[in-house]
Every structure is written in structure tokens, then in C-alpha cells.
Amino acid sequence: MKLRMLLAGTALMIALGVGTGAPRGAAPGGSGPEGAEVPLGVGARALQPSTCARSFLAHDLPHAAQGRQQPARGYDGNGSGVALGDLNEDGLIDIAFANQGGEAVVLWNQGGLKFRKTTLDALSTRAVAAVDVNADGWLDLTFTHNLGTPSYWQNLRGRGFAPAELPGVRYRAYSMLWDDLDGDGRLELVTASYDAILEAELRHGFLFSEGAGTVLYRPTPEGFEARRLARNAQALGLSAFDASNDGKRDLIVGNDFDLPDMVFEQGTWEQIRPFPRTSQHTMGFSVADIDNDGRPELFSTDMKPDFRDLKALAAWIPLMQKGYSRLTRSAVGRPENMLQVRSSQGYRNRAYELGLDATGWSWSGKFGDLDNDGYEDLYVVNGMIDADLFGYLPGGELVEENRVFRNRGGQRFERKPDWNLASRRSGRGMSLADLDNDGDLDIVVSNLGNPAQLFENRLCGGRSVEVELRWEGSFNTRALGAQVLLYTDKHRLWRQVTAISGYLSGDAPRLHFGVDPSEEVRRLEVIWPDGKRSEVVARAGTLFTLTRKERP
């Protein structure tokens, strides 16, 4: 009921014509003066650096994602995601795990990287995101499931969660995306199915049903209204990315198998083809400005062995000799990671030349400035368990190391084995955030059949600035879709507030900027989802909470 009341209030605001603006170089929606400035309430808290170890320290967490059978077979081997966010508003980022083979788990951050475990009666879950669905200021949890529609667990003001409804959300979904795509201060939901699982599990029941596919849900006074963009999907990942270079973020659908990735242009929501090539079996996406030129890139993960790693390659060879279909090329797809970089001639894939194309059987891959030098690094988690496919390997498991790549000035990447991130526990979901408020990014990985891991960042590189946004009076309280720019005396760093990325894994609505110690931090600029702007003087070593009081 509360969700319906909020959506009805949104409709009234739109009818009154409230909400203006579109940023320079972007046009997310609205009809008012371009780049109009809005005042901010500013909160600031010092970040406390931790002891240095020049690497990450690995901690086991009290959760292990499971399949429905042991060892995993078929699509049970795909595992599930993890989400990060401050769920009880105590200033510490908590962890939520989806779990295909059991209950979902919440780990409440008690400080000092200690956690209190609770469970949710959410079963057979795949993706998870921490989003303020009902705009009450508290992050709720939403999950996708093996066979059902997404579920919504309302936050009880930090005391726990209770199941609630998403009226009008009716199609089965494997992946999901929450965002304010058109900048009107309301959240859209995008879902997409993984038809291979539905066909395997439901058989004739799926073949003779209305199916699922890719669906855009827009809020209405009654709940959500569905617009089906595609009747079929094999979607392991979704992303909002301005592929058409018109200032409006489009919808990117990453499909597995022979179904090509799809791009739906915002506005008409018709399919376009901006990329000459895409990953053949896309597992997930990450958006980052890797060279600080102001133009974000789109990274996708896939399955391709590193031919320099002879031990890992030996495990792949029997599969390759069988002519396994998922290792073959198509007209537009290649079975490898891709980095889509925009140029004056369109997009080109730079993953191969940067050494990012072959990381193994890869799932979640995300960018973040791990060493606080001003450039975003890349972490990718790997491995596969399938007793049928890998019957020739012990436990039916393809064991591979996770890979980390240090960004060297936006021009090249280098492997960093000394960072102690080469876990071999069959990672699936993964997200990055500062869980101990010391100013650097920690990493949480959901491993299939093994304890989840928290990698505590002890690199002690440069300095940092962290930012949380609040948009009071809107129904997008965490300003999903907002862009934040940090200006130093040498660079302009770009970040965007997102709810989910990588493989099925939710992002904390707290942005992190690493800053080289030789640079002077000057100011932050916020481009709100409706295009209006705000500026504030910044300083290193600080977590800023920036609150916009004006309604959209």
C-alpha cells in the first residue's frame, strides 16, 4: 500500500510539472534550464587509514553459496550474487548474499570487519540488490529467483526485513537492473530471463507459456507497468550505458549462448547495434572511465582461458577438443572479455591489446581504484563447477585463479599477484566498497560451495574521497544514475551511482575516488539524474554526504 501511495504521489508531481534540467553533454530527461544549480546540505566525516601490509588480507565470511545438489550440475554451477549497502544507517556497509541452494543471508557490519549473521526466507535466489524501493530512506533488498518473479524485502528501519509486493512485476527474471533512466526522480526496474534454465526446468510448461524475455517496468500510481522489449533472453547481465552517445543511457542486455547481446536505445526503446563485436557469452558488465578522459568504457566478461597459464589451459583442453559450443564464435560475438571504447569512428574493442581479454571462466568483473592512485583497476572472479561438463576433473570443478589488473595511468594494465587476490574458490558474485571506513576499497566475493571471502585492502596507496548522495523529496532517494566528478589540480575523475553491476551483484550507493598523493583535491561536482548540478569544495580523506533538498 505504501508503495502505491508513493507512486501516486510521483504521478501528481509530474502532473504539476515539477523537475527540470539536463546536463551539458547529457540529456536524461526534463525540460528546464540546462545544468541549473541546486543547493546542497553537506555532511563530512574523516576516513581513518588502517595499518599497511602492501597487499590484501583475506577473511572468511560465515556464508557459503550452494547449489541444489552436490557437486553442482548444469546451471546450478552458475552460483549467485552479493550486494553491499548500509542497511541500518549506522555508517557501516553491510553484506547481503543471494543463495540458490538455501536461504539468503545478511551480514550486519559490527565494525572492525566483524559481522552478525541473519537469514531471510528468500529461496533459490540469484541476483541481489540493495535499493530504496519505497523511498522511505532505508535500503531494501530485491532478489531474482531461479524460476519466479523478483521478490522485494522491505527494510524495517534497520531491524530486519519483511516480504512485500512489487505490483505489476509479473515476468520471470534471472538478472535485474534498478535505475532512474529518464531522470524524473522515479526508479525503473529492468528484468531479463535466462531462458536456458526455464526450458530445462519447466520444459513444455515454458514452451507453451508467454515466456519472459527483457522487460522494462515503469512506475505508475498502481505499481509498475511492463513493456516487453524482447520475448527471448539468455541474460546473465544488464547495464545502463550511453551506447548511442546522445547523453541518454541505453539498456545493454548481456546474453549467453548464441543469442547476441542487445542494446535498446532510450526513448524509442528500439534495438540498435553500436558495437561491431560483443562478447559471445556475456556474464556481466562494468562501466568505468579507465583513462580519465571523461568518456566511460563498457567492460564485459566471458569465458576464455589464458593461454600463458599452462596448468589452467590443460584443464580446458578436453572441453575444447569436444568442440564445446560455448567456445565457438558467431557473426557478432567472440568468446572473450571485451572493453568497448568510444572513438570518433565508433566503438572498438581494446581488451586484447590491454591484456584483459582472457581471464578464464569469468563471472563478476568490476573496476575500482584499489591502490588509490587515481585510476580504476580491474578485478575478475573465475571458476566453474559442473559434474557433467567437467567430469574429467576432480569434483567436476574447473579451478582457476581470480585475476587483478593494476591500471597504469590509463594506458596499460599489469597483473599484481603480490596483492594476494588470486583466490581459487570458484567465485561468482563480487562487489567492492569501503567496509571499514579507512578510505580504500575492500572486496567481497560469493564463492560457490566454499566460504565467501572479504579481502581487506591494506595496500595503503594514495588518498581518497568518498561520496554518498541523498535526494530528498524524490522517489530516487539515493540518486541512482547521478554522475559525480572529482576535480584535482591535474585530473577530473568520473563516477556514477549504480545499484547493480558485474554478475548479479549489487553496488553500494557510496562512490570512491582514489587520489594520487602528489595531486591537490579541489572540488566535487554532482550532475543529478534530472540534469541539475551542485558543487562543493572537497578535501582528501573525507566521506561526504551530499543532500539535495529541492524536489525533482
Element (H, E) at 251: strand 250-255
- Averaged pLDDT for residues 127-155: 98
- 451 contacts: CB under 8 Å, gap ≥ 6: 60, 61, 62, 63, 64, 425
Q: Please give the grid coordinates belonging to residue 234.
A: 539468455
Q: Could you give the CA distance from residue 365 to residue 355 in angstroms, rounded to a whole number?
A: 14
| Top mean-pLDDT range of 4-13, 17-26, 96-105 | 96-105
Handedness of CA 251, 254, 255, 258 (dihedral sign): positive
- Give 471's Cβ-side CA count (13 Å radius): 30
Q: What is 3-18 written as a DSSP string?
A: HHHHHHHHHHHHHTT-
- Pick 321 or 502 by higher pLDDT: 502
% of the chain at pLDDT higher than 90: 85
Confidence of residue 325 (pLDDT cuts 50, 70, 90): low
% of the chain at pLDDT higher than 70: 92
Q: Please give the grid coordinates belonging to residue 423.
A: 583466490
- Pick 34 or 276 by higher pLDDT: 276
- Closest by alpha carbon to 455, among 443, 466, 445? 443
* 40-46+465-548 matches 57-464 in fold: no
Q: Please, where are the H alpha helices in 280-345?
A: 310-321
Of the options 2.60.120.200, 3.30.70.360, 2.60.40.10, 2.130.10.10, the CATH number for the domain spanning 57-464: 2.130.10.10
Q: What is the pLDDT of residues 246-259, one digit of tens each?
A: 999 999 999 999 89
Q: Is the pLDDT of residue 532 over 50?
A: yes
CATH 3.30.310 fits domain 40-46+465-548: no
Q: Please give the grid coordinates belonging to residue 208.
A: 507453451
- 212 contacts: CB under 8 Å, gap ≥ 6: 171, 172, 173, 191, 192, 193, 195, 198, 233
Backbone angles phi, psi at 546, to 5 degrees: -110, 120
- What number of other Cβ atoms are within 10 A of residue 247's Cβ? 15
- Averaged pLDDT for residues 116-140: 98
pTM for the model stands at 0.93
Pair 481, 240: CB distance under 8 Å? yes
- Closest by alpha carbon to 315, among 422, 381, 400, 395? 400
- Averaged pLDDT for residues 56-63: 99
Q: Is the pLDDT of residue 137 over 90?
A: yes
Q: Is the pLDDT of residue 199 over 50?
A: yes
Q: Indicate the domain borders of the chain.
A: 40-46+465-548, 57-464
Pair 529, 481: CB distance under 8 Å? yes
Mean pLDDT for all residues in the chain: 92
Q: Please give the grid coordinates belonging to residue 463.
A: 588518498
